[in-house]
Amino acid sequence: MNNQVVIDSLAEEVKKRFEGESSGHDWWHVYRVWKMAQHIGREEGADMYVLELAALLHDIADHKFHDGDDTVGPKVARQILSGYKVQDDVIDHVCEIIATLSYKGAGVATDMRTLEGKIVQDADRLDAIGAVGIARCFAYGGHKNRPIHVPGDDPVLHQSKDSYFKSAGPSINHFYEKLLLLKDRMNTKIARQMAEDRHKYMEDYLDRFYKEWEGDL
């Protein structure tokens, strides 16, 4: 099975696995990350095979849906890729990316070792901000039965992975605990440029949100 056949087949499998997902971590999130990673990867000279496999599988078993266990994703990815007879070194690289790319709190470093990892992380984070990021934030909050906003319930800048994974604050707090911090955590020049506009959009949105919340508009 050549590389393109593997990628095409994997994309179809991932799409089927995510049918009915409504928390904002659906096939279309994966699709956007995949396409964005390709765009950045071509500009950066990345290994496109590793990049595309990692982008397609980056959320295959997200810790948020497995009681905070961030070892499940790499395990499931390894099983899937082994079924496609992908080379062991490629599987190892993809699984390393999946194991390390997730945001784990304001005070937790999540540095990526390889260019391909940096790019997939950037693509995933770009999809968490801007107009789509706002929509996904509230979709996930609704999925977890979280209130939109609770005045006086202040955001927490989590200093550990465990603290962040157990966070259950209102959706608006998530902007301050993660989304507004992502602009300065991009790895590549292209992602940093894209993040500027998306970040500004979120700031403008929050300004409008608070005015409407108080009945000023």
Domain ranges (residues) in the chain: 3-213
Contact 162, 146 (CB under 8 A): no
What CA–CA distance (Å, rounded) separates 84 from 182? 34
Output the pTM of the full model.
Answer: 0.93
Residue range 163-216, pLDDT digits in tens: 888 788 899 999 999 999 999 999 999 999 999 999 999 999 999 999 999 988
CATH of domain 3-213: 1.10.3210.50
What CA–CA distance (Å, rounded) separates 55 from 45? 16
Residue 37 burial class via C-beta count within 10 angstroms: exposed 0-12, middle 13-18, buried 19 and up? buried
Residue range 126-164, pLDDT digits in tens: 999 999 999 999 999 999 999 999 999 999 888 888 888
CA distances from 108 to 103, 105, 178 (A): 8, 5, 11
Both tokens of 184, joined, read: 């300065």
